[in-house]
Amino acid sequence: MIPTLEWLPSGVNFLDQTKLPLEETYVLATDYKEVARVIRDMIVRGAMAIGVSGAMGVALGIERSTASTLPALTAEVALICDTLASTRPTAVNLFWGIGKVRDLYNQLAAAQTSIPEIKSQVVTLARRMYDEDIAACKQLGAFGAELLPQKGTVLTHCNAGALAACGYGSALGVIRAAVERGHEIDVLADETRPYLQGARLTAWELMKDGIPTTVLCDNMSAHLMSKGRIQAVIVGADRVAANGDTANKIGTYGVAILAKEHGIPFYVAAPWATVDLATAHGGLIPIEQRDEREVTHSNGKQMTPTGVGIENPAFDVTPARYIAGIITERGVLRSPFEASIAALAQQPSPELVPA
Ligand code: MRU
């Protein structure tokens, strides 16, 4: 299992994804502010991983608090949650993770629970969310595996793998599950400029698992699709709106259009926590803008003329009409997505067996 993040008695330990694939080093966050920095600086990244990191950040903040009264602790919890929530705007999992621990805190505080008991319960919840994340990935992987070809090439964009979750992954979880069930699959990983999650992270983790992987520059998939070299596309998601429009790493939208043009199914794999019923359509999803330097520089070397204009939106939105299916741990959603999402939302969440 790839140790993306781990709750330890000394704090939350993160595999430093900025250093991969060349170095496997860790950053230990011993307070919530450090967890916020780790999320903002993308030491941990990927919607599911930052969701659980947000939950652990709140739990760590509460556990380490020296407040001696509930009103004082409640004021601190508000600050902790705001700090963590200000780190990255697009992946709804972050707000879901923070909200789950905050809701438990509010419930316990309203019942005048003792501070030591509150500390113990919020830590237990955050750690359980870690186990449930892996279980959700395995369950959605099992649903999605059947959708992938028995033998063929699957394109993915960005990293929606174990590194983007607590383990196993969403899009890569589906690929892993298919391979475990005997499918002969090889993977094309878009390099995913400018942050290179595909080239650095997807390639690294799939090679560790012995899954045949080839890295492509982002502008090569149309050509390969036209030559019949790609049988399916699968990506993760940072936020799925109530109508199925899906935000994911910048470049995903283009890949979806290309897949449609070539008659190739385009799947999204994401846990239910990524579905945002409060956001009606993709146009309402906030898109993170990141530092220009990610575009202007590569490995510390300037690649563009000084002073040229730069765009760096970190995500785009794929309209639901391009999506063949959204694979969740509750089942596979199909078009019309507004109706299928609303129907699945009514069902009780399944009992997931922690890994
Ligand atoms: O900016 P990142 O690396 O956090 O973006 C990650 C992605 O876009 C993933 O594809 C997405 O989070 C789905 S995997 C949980």
Q: Which pLDDT value is given to residue 354? A: 59
Q: Ligand 1: distance of its center to the CA of 163 in Å?
A: 9
Q: Tell me which residue range forms the domain holding 250.
A: 141-345
Q: Read off the pLDDT of residues 250-290 as tens digits, 9 standing for 90 and up.
A: 999 999 999 999 999 999 999 999 999 999 999 999 999 99
Q: Which pLDDT value is given to residue 77? A: 98
Q: Does residue 122 share a domain with residue 31? A: yes
Q: Which pLDDT value is given to residue 351? A: 73
Neighbours of 103 (CB within 10 A): 11
Write the CATH number for 63: 1.20.120.420
Q: Does residue 167 share a domain with residue 121? A: no
Mean pLDDT of 111-136: 98
Q: How far apart are CA 224 and CA 221, in angstroms?
A: 5
Q: Does residue 318 share a domain with residue 260? A: yes
Q: Does residue 161 share a domain with residue 38? A: no
Tokens for 33, please give them: 């502010």
Question: Does residue 323 lie within any of the structural domains?
Answer: yes
pLDDT at residue 104 is higher than 90 = yes
**Amino acid code (one letter) for 299:** N
**238 in catalytic set:** yes
Best residue for ligand 1 mutational test, from 4, 20, 158 (most atoms within 8 Å of Cβ): 158
Q: Which atom of ligand 1 is nearest to the CA of 165?
A: 15
Choose the final residue of a domain: 138, 170, 192. 138
Q: Does residue 148 share a domain with residue 119? A: no
Q: Which pLDDT value is given to residue 1? A: 77
Q: Does residue 134 share a domain with residue 145? A: no
Q: Are strands 213-216 and 184-190 parallel, antiparallel or unpaired?
A: parallel
Neighbours of 306 (CB within 10 A): 6
Work out how many domains the chain is built from and give that number: 2
Q: Is the pTM of this model over 0.85?
A: yes
Question: Does residue 104 lie within any of the structural domains?
Answer: yes
Question: Does residue 355 lie within any of the structural domains?
Answer: no
Q: Which pLDDT value is given to residue 2? A: 82
Residues with Cβ within 8 Å of residue 82, at least 6 apart in sequence = none
The pLDDT mean for the chain works out to 97
Q: Does residue 231 share a domain with residue 189? A: yes
Question: Which position among 133, 190, 238, 316 bears the catalytic label?
Answer: 238
Q: How far apart are CA 175 and CA 181, in angstroms?
A: 10
Q: Does residue 159 share a domain with residue 122? A: no
pLDDT category of residue 161 using cuts at 50, 70 and 90: very high
Radius of gyration of the chain (CA): 20
pLDDT at residue 353 is higher than 70 = no
Residues with Cβ within 8 Å of residue 78, at least 6 apart in sequence = none
Q: Read off the pLDDT of residues 133-150 as tens digits, 9 standing for 90 and up.
A: 999 999 999 999 999 999
Question: Does residue 352 lie within any of the structural domains?
Answer: no
CA dist 311 → 19, 293, 307, 314 (Å)? 24, 10, 13, 10
Q: Which pLDDT value is given to residue 355? A: 53
Q: Which pLDDT value is given to residue 348? A: 78
Write the CATH number for 340: 3.40.50.10470
Mean pLDDT of 55-79: 98
Question: Does residue 353 lie within any of the structural domains?
Answer: no
Q: Does residue 80 share a domain with residue 42? A: yes
Q: Does residue 204 share a domain with residue 68? A: no
Q: Ligand 1: distance of its center to the CA of 75 in Å?
A: 32
Q: Which pLDDT value is given to residue 349? A: 78
Choose the final residue of a domain: 111, 138, 165. 138
Choose the final residue of a domain: 138, 160, 177. 138
Question: Does residue 354 lie within any of the structural domains?
Answer: no
Q: Does residue 19 share a domain with residue 122? A: yes
Q: Ligand 1: distance of its center to the CA of 192 in Å?
A: 11
Question: Does residue 28 lie within any of the structural domains?
Answer: yes
CA dist 156 → 23, 170, 175, 220 (Å)? 24, 11, 10, 13
Question: Does residue 316 lie within any of the structural domains?
Answer: yes
Mean pLDDT of 298-314: 96
Q: Does residue 185 share a domain with residue 111? A: no
